Structure 1
């Protein structure tokens, strides 16, 4: 499966340097993504807590259709690893 066929979702907040780093990395790689901003939206953090047991961002979801892998660790290297395995 080509990277361009993947759906990528970045859960982020304003002013988050780690979130900006993730988005910059994806932009540099030409990977399109949907950004879900959790700033002032605790209900969105509630979704993260239910799905992955975390309330922090960034969280990056990578997948296709209904099969997603979530990267909850901080650091671009974890995203690189997940993309390499695709």
Structure 2
């Protein structure tokens, strides 16, 4: 089953935009809140070379594609591409 993980922080308008989009499209997701946890930002740095949010991970079985670009169009493209690969 495909999983979506949203790395976000309190007060991030881009993060809220991503979560709203997922909710409106009835896509279940899990949130990793980096607000008061710099070690989570360290994980993002190791995985993707960035420390900012939102980052959306799409995948399954511990194999994920990370969406690090800002803008819903990047998320839409990644979701579509992932579903096409899994079809």
The TM-score by the shorter chain falls in which range?
over 0.9
1:66 Cα deviation (Å)? Answer: 2.1
Structure 2 residue runs without a partner (length 5+)? none
Q: How does 1:44-55 map to 2 (within 5 A)?
A: 44-55=40-51
Q: Look up the match of 1:39.
A: 35
| Greater relative contact order (Cα < 8 A, sep 6+) | 1
Structure 1 residue runs without a partner (length 5+)? none
1:40 Cα deviation (Å)? Answer: 1.2
Q: Look up the match of 2:74.
A: 78
Q: How does 1:2-13 map to 2 (within 5 A)?
A: 5-13=1-9
Structure 1 length as normaliser, TM-score? 0.92
